Structure 1
Amino acid sequence: MLVNYWSALHVSIYRLICISLFLGIIGFPIIRKARIRPKQWLLLCIAAILGVSINHLSFFKSLETTSPITAAYILALTPIITGIINGIVRGERKSCLFWLGSIISFIGVGFIISAKQGASIQFGIGEFFSFCTMLSFAIFLVMLDVLRKELDSFTITFFTSFLGCIALLPFLFFAQVPVKQVAELPIILLLIISAILVHGVSNLVWNAKQHEVGSTNAAILLNLEPIITMILSMIILQAIIQSNHIIGGVLVLVGIVISVIVNDKVLPQKVLKANYNFNE
C-alpha cells in the first residue's frame, strides 16, 4: 500500500526516521549511558547497513514489482540461510529434524512462487530484491547473536536503526520524488504507526529474546509471517489465493512443526537416554 504513494527509498527513509525518533524518545536514558567500544561500533555499522539499510530498501523495492505473498514466502528461506551462515561462521550444528523442517518450508516457497509465473519457478527483479532482503536479514540475525553478548537489546535496536537511516539519507538528495498518488492523512498515519510497531516495538522485542534461543532457531518462526501475510493480503488487498498458495502454506506450517515442536520433543529424549546409558 505504501509503495503506491512513495518510492521504495522514500518509504524506507521515512520509516527509519519514525523508528529512530520513537526509540530515541522512549530510551534516551539508556542510550545516553551506553558505552560502546570501537570494535562494537564497527559491528553496529555493518549490521545497520546490512540488516536495516539494505534490508528495508530491498524489501520495499521488491514490493514495487512483486506481490506481498511472494515476497513473504521468499523470506521463508531465512532459516535455511541463517543455519548455513551459522554453520560456516560459528560452527553451529543443527539436527536432521531441523533441516528436514527447513527443507519442507523451502518446498513451500517453491509452490508459492510458481503460482505467480505458472508451472515453472521464475525469478524476476522483484523476486531478486526479495532474495536480497532475506539474505541481508539472515546475516543480520547472526550478527545480533554476536552483538548481544556485550550490548543490551535497546542499544542495538536504536543504533542499528539510526545508523541505517543515516546510511540511506545521502541517496535521498539524488533521488527524484516519483509522481504517484497524493498521500492523505490515513496513509501517513499508516506509514508512521506501521514503522513504530513493525520495525520499532517488534524489533526491540526480537532483539531482546533472540539470544535466548539462538538466531537459527528464532529464524524458523519467521515462517509464520507468510501465512499471516497471505491471509491479510486476501482480506485487505483482495488478493486471489490460489491452490499453490494453500499448498505452500501447509508445507511451511508442517516445516515449523517438525523443526520446532517435534525437534524439541525428540532430541531431549535422545540426550537423556544417552546420558543414562553413560552413567550406567
Structure 2
Amino acid sequence: MSKYRVWLLLVLCNLFWAGNYVFGKYVVAEMPPLMITFSRWLVASVLLLIIAYFYEKPQWSLVPKEWISLLAMAVLGMIGYNTILYAALEYTSPTNASLVSALNPGIIVIFSLYMLKERISKIQSIGLVVSLLGVVVILTGGRLTQILHVSYNRGDLLMLAAVIMWTFYSIIGKRIKNIPPITTTAVTALIATIIMAPFAIVQGINYTELSPLALQGIAYMIIFPSVGSFVFWNIGVRQISASKAGVFLNLMPVFTAIISWSLGERITLAQISGGILVFIGVYLTTGMLDIKLASKRQQKGTA
C-alpha cells in the first residue's frame, strides 16, 4: 500500500473520531458510558469479522498465539479508552477533551522511542511541535497564554487516562505481525464485547426509550468510529511507525471545529489558522519533506 493511501486512511480515521466526540456528548446524556461502548462493539465486532473474513482471509489458527496482546488491546483500546472517553464527556466539553487528546501524538512518540526503538528526524520533530502549536491555537482562540490558565476538571483527568490507554493500545498493535489489521480489530472488538456483556446485562437499558438523535449517534459510532476508524488506524500503524501515525491525531480538533461549524457554531480565524498549522505539522511529521529532500540530494549526486 502506498504511503499516500495510508495517509488518506489516517486522515479519514481522525475525521470519523472527531464526529465521535461531538455525537458522544449528546448520546452520553441518555446512555451510561459502559452501555455506549458495549452497544458499539456488539454490532461492530460482527461487521468487522465479516469484513476480515472476506477481505483478508486470515489464518484463524494464528489468533490464539497472540491472545495476550489481543486481550490487552481489547481492554485498553476498545473498553478502556472508549468508556473513559464517554465518562469524560459527562464532565467536560468536547473542546477540552480534544485539548487533552492533543497530548496523544507526543506521548506516542515518547513511548515509541523507548519501547519500539523508533527514530524520527529533526524535521519530523519540528512537525510534531508545529502541529501541537496548531492545536493550542485552535483550542485557545489564538490566545496562547490561555493554555496556562485552563482549569482541568474531572473530565480532563479522565481524558488523560484515556490518552495513556490509547498509547499502549497503539504500541501493542504495532507489535502484532502475523494477524492482518482488520482481523486484529475484529477479534479485539469481539473480546471486548464478551468481557463487557455481563456488566451490560446487569446494568441494562431500554433502547426504545432513546431519542432519535441518540439512536443516530449510536449508528454513527458503530459504522464510522468503530469500524472505519479502528480498521484505518490499525492499517496505518502497521504501514508506518506508531509515532508518525500518532501525529495525525492532531487533525481531530480541526475536524471537530469543522463539524461544530456545520452544526451551526461559528468558526473563528484562530481555528482556521490553527488548522493550517496542524496540516503543516502533519506534512512534516509524515516524512514527506524528508523524502523530497532525499530525492533531490540523490538527483544532485547522480548529476
Q: 1:69 to 1:246 in 2, by over 3 A?
A: farther
Alignment of 1:230-269 (within 5 A): 230-236=257-263, 238-239=264-265, 241=267, 245-260=271-286, 261-267=288-294, 269=296
The runs of 4+ residues in structure 1 deviating greater than 6 Å are 29-32
Deviation at 1:143, TM superposition (A): 1.3
Paired residues of 1:19 and 1:200 also in contact (CA < 8 A): yes
Deviation at 1:18, TM superposition (A): 1.6
TM-score scaled by length of structure 2: 0.76
Deviation at 1:183, TM superposition (A): 1.7
**1:82 is aligned with what amino acid?**
I
Q: Which residue of 2 aligns with 1:166?
A: 194
**1:256 is aligned with what amino acid?**
V
**For residues 148-184 of structure 1, what are the alpha-carbon distances to aligned partners after superposition, in whole Å with 9 as ceiling and x for unaligned?**
x11112220111111122333343356486x9x9423
Structure 2: distance between partners of 1:46 and 1:268: 40
**1:84 matched to 2:110:** yes
Structure 2: distance between partners of 1:268 and 1:80: 28
Deviation at 1:8, TM superposition (A): 1.6
Structure 2: distance between partners of 1:52 and 1:196: 15
**For residues 73-106 of structure 1, what are the alpha-carbon distances to aligned partners after superposition, in whole Å with 9 as ceiling and x for unaligned?**
4323222111111111121111111122212222
Deviation at 1:21, TM superposition (A): 2.3
Q: 1:176 to 1:76 in 2, by over 3 A?
A: same
Structure 2: distance between partners of 1:32 and 1:104: 40
Q: Which residue of 2 aligns with 1:24?
A: 49
Alignment of 1:57-96 (within 5 A): 57-96=83-122
Q: Which residue of 2 aligns with 1:138?
A: 167
Structure 1: distance between partners of 2:42 and 2:57: 17
Paired residues of 1:20 and 1:162 also in contact (CA < 8 A): yes
**2:253 is aligned with what amino acid?**
P
**For residues 25-64 of structure 1, what are the alpha-carbon distances to aligned partners after superposition, in whole Å with 9 as ceiling and x for unaligned?**
4445778850136551001001111111111111111222
Structure 2: distance between partners of 1:167 and 1:27: 21
Deviation at 1:262, TM superposition (A): 2.8
Structure 1 unaligned residues grouped into runs of 5+: none
Q: Which residue of 1 aligns with 2:151?
A: 122
What is the total number of aligned residue pairs between the two structures? 270
SS in 2 for 1:197: helix
**For residues 168-223 of structure 1, what are the alpha-carbon distances to aligned partners after superposition, in whole Å with 9 as ceiling and x for unaligned?**
3343356486x9x9423453243124312221133223323432222221222222
**2:76 is aligned with what amino acid?**
L
**2:195 is aligned with what amino acid?**
A
Q: Which residue of 2 aligns with 1:202?
A: 229
Q: What is the Cα-based RMSD across aligned positions, in Å?
A: 3.2
**1:217 matched to 2:240:** no
Paired residues of 1:113 and 1:121 also in contact (CA < 8 A): no
Q: Report the identity percentage.
A: 23
| Higher RCO (C-alpha under 8 Å, 6+ residues apart) | 2
Deviation at 1:268, TM superposition (A): 5.3
**1:15 is aligned with what amino acid?**
R
SS in 1 for 2:254: helix
Query: 1:192 aligned to 213, 219, 226, which one?
Result: 219
**1:12 matched to 2:37:** yes
Structure 1: distance between partners of 2:285 and 2:200: 42
Structure 1: distance between partners of 2:238 and 2:71: 20
Structure 2: distance between partners of 1:214 and 1:158: 21
- Which moves more between the two structures, 225-234 or 37-46? 37-46
- Which moves more between the two structures, 189-198 or 29-38? 29-38
SS in 2 for 1:258: helix
Structure 1: distance between partners of 2:37 and 2:131: 28
Paired residues of 1:18 and 1:192 also in contact (CA < 8 A): no
Q: 1:170 to 1:243 in 2, by over 3 A?
A: farther
Paired residues of 1:19 and 1:199 also in contact (CA < 8 A): yes
Paired residues of 1:108 and 1:248 also in contact (CA < 8 A): yes
Query: 2:179 aligned to 151, 161, 180, which one?
Result: 151
